[in-house]
Amino acid sequence: MVITDFLERNARLYGSEMALVEINPSDERDKARNWRETSLIETNTDAPYRREMTWRRFDKNANRMANLLLSRGVKKGTKVGILMMNCLEWLPVYFGILKAGCIAVPFNFRYSGDEIAYCLDLADVDILVFGHEFIDRLQQIPEAMDRLRYRFFVGKASDLPDFAEHYDRLVTFCSIEAPPVLLQEDDYAAIYFSSGTTGFPKAILHRHSALVHSCLAEQKHHGQTRDDVFLCIPPLYHTGAKMHWFGSLVSGSKAVLLRGVKPEWILRAVSEEKCTIVWLLVPWAQDILIDLESGKLKKEDYMLDQWRLMHIGAQPVPASLIARWKKHFPHHAYDTNYGLSESLGPGCVHLGVENIRKVGAIGVPGYGWETRILDERGEDVTPGEVGELAVKGPGVMICYYKNPEATAEVLHGDWLWTGDMARQDEEGFIYLVDRKKDVIISGGENLYPVQIEDFIRQNTKVKDVAVIGLPDERLGEIAAAIIELKEGETCTEEEINRFCLDMPRYKRPRRVIFEDVPRNPTGKIEKNVLRERYSANRLVERESMK
């Protein structure tokens, strides 16, 4: 079985039912809709910021994309890049690439021109499908563009750049029939890029079988049925968002793509689209709680009773956050999911909705997965001790494409060493301690930033916090806390130091910086950015004191 089989089944059984809805509540909604009123979209709504697509149209548009590629003579295994914001075209393009036997290569929409060029070369991308938001960045890399065989532009015809062809015009004349390509579960399907929080990303190669298992694991974990409606907010280029949507694909249920993360927009989408499942990142959940607790938003203004599950992934989740959430939404089931792009997104470890008493843990091995916690020699640690989390299962990557050295560092037989430090309690629940590279060694003591961050987040003035190690001549490193305050709050370093007196002395941050905490589109704190910024500042300070 391959993943496109699910789409074809849904088109056959539920063809006239809604598969996807796109909501763009931004100020640019009318402009954004302008070019999208084409024969590729079926919509029965007059709302200027809402478009929808049935399962039948979804499958037909994927077939059109596949047949376009085949008409250009592509071979099985050709790499096709996707550089688009979340939109109704995104998933049909992705599935069309797969139906043609090609390898889908989604790009992070935050990439600079140089990063785009780097990744095009790294993944041997031959064809690029891109949106209007990226024209300027692509014009900055003409040599990389020239190396591509084809460039397809998804956007308003009047915005078509001179180096590309217009996607809508091309696929309109392509067959809606399934292409004559035999796909097998061992075929290569996709290349995803690592999040790049430690420098330029690596290219992660996966098979169709891994995609299929992600579908089955997601549905197994969260029990999606055809009555569910999934609200998808994170970017589709990332494995997390797409693999959670796979539960909708398996169950043949509707999903809503929301282009925006404002708390009001999220609650409005849940209310108007009758969403039952929402996957949030920690900052978005915090923002919703802040607006509810301040009175800026009122639950009674929205229809939220059908919302049954809120789950979070991509980062450690403070137990205090879920306690606050349950006060406002006591009927919600809750789950957290752990995964990496190297393990094809979420689900290799998950808490399970039945285990909310264990909030703070990332959970137990997911459906079809095994886990170990290892010391530096690759041997199992004693239960309760901290070691590196390793996972084994059907979603483990084939390799880092064109990077055997990096592959050998993390793949040991069938086991993927994650680089995350964790411990396991007496019941078998795994707790994430920190990223191996983020551990701070201060005066010979190991400090785990996540533990310090969880403590500081209990301060009612704090919206977000990141703890990093900064160089220190005496201790080697010290812990520095970058603190983002809630809107309207004021705080001093002395207040934070007093608040931290309940922590062991060696864990207390030696430096407090009040600044916004940068996060990437998947919600992970960009600690490399902070380390570079504040290590440089500290060097300047030392030099000025000489």
Other residues' Cβ atoms within 10 Å of the Cβ of residue 18: 21
Architecture of the domain delimited by 439-545: 2-Layer Sandwich (3.30)
pLDDT at 32 over 50: no
* Mean pLDDT of the chain, nearest integer: 88
129: closest CA among 108, 96, 152?
152
Grouping H, G, I as helix, E, B as strand and the rest as coil, residue 484 is: strand
Q: How many Cα neighbours within 13 Å face the side chain of 522?
A: 24
CATH 3.30.230.10 fits 344-436, yes or no: no
Strand order of the β-sheet with 345-350 is: 50-54, 18-23, 254-258, 229-232, 277-280, 309-313, 333-340, 345-350, 364-365
CA–CA separation, 523 and 315 (whole Å): 7
For residue 434, list its beta bridge partners.
421
Q: Which H or E run includes 485?
A: strand 476-485
Q: Are 468 and 527 in contact (CB under 8 A)?
A: yes
pLDDT at 321 over 70: yes
**Given this model, what pLDDT does residue 531 score?**
81
**Given this model, what pLDDT does residue 42 score?**
56
pLDDT tier for residue 354 given thresholds of 50, 70 and 90: very high
pLDDT at 320 over 50: yes
Side chain identity at 263, as an amino acid letter?
P
- Give Cβ neighbours of residue 315 (< 8 Å, ≥ 6 apart): 281, 282, 523, 524, 525
Q: Which H or E run includes 92?
A: helix 90-99
Mean pLDDT over residues 296-317, rounded? Answer: 89
Q: Name the percent of the chain lying above pLDDT 90.
A: 67
pLDDT at 318 over 80: no
Q: Would you kindly state where each structural domain of the chain is located, as residue ranges?
A: 4-212, 344-436, 439-545
pLDDT at 30 over 50: no
Q: Which two tokens mark 455?
A: 């403590």
CA–CA separation, 227 and 252 (whole Å): 9
216: DSSP letter: H
Which superfamily, per CATH, for 4-212?
Answer: ANL, N-terminal domain (3.40.50.12780)
**Between 282-294 and 319-328, two packed helices, what is the crossing angle to 10 degrees?**
50
Mean pLDDT over residues 386-414, rounded? Answer: 95
What string of H, E and C letters represents the secondary structure of 192-211?
A: EECCCCCCCCCEEEEEHHHH
**Given this model, what pLDDT does residue 31 score?**
44
132-171 per-position pLDDT tens digit: 999 999 999 999 999 999 999 999 999 999 999 999 999 9
Mean pLDDT over residues 124-136, rounded? Answer: 97
pLDDT tier for residue 346 given thresholds of 50, 70 and 90: confident
pLDDT tier for residue 440 given thresholds of 50, 70 and 90: confident
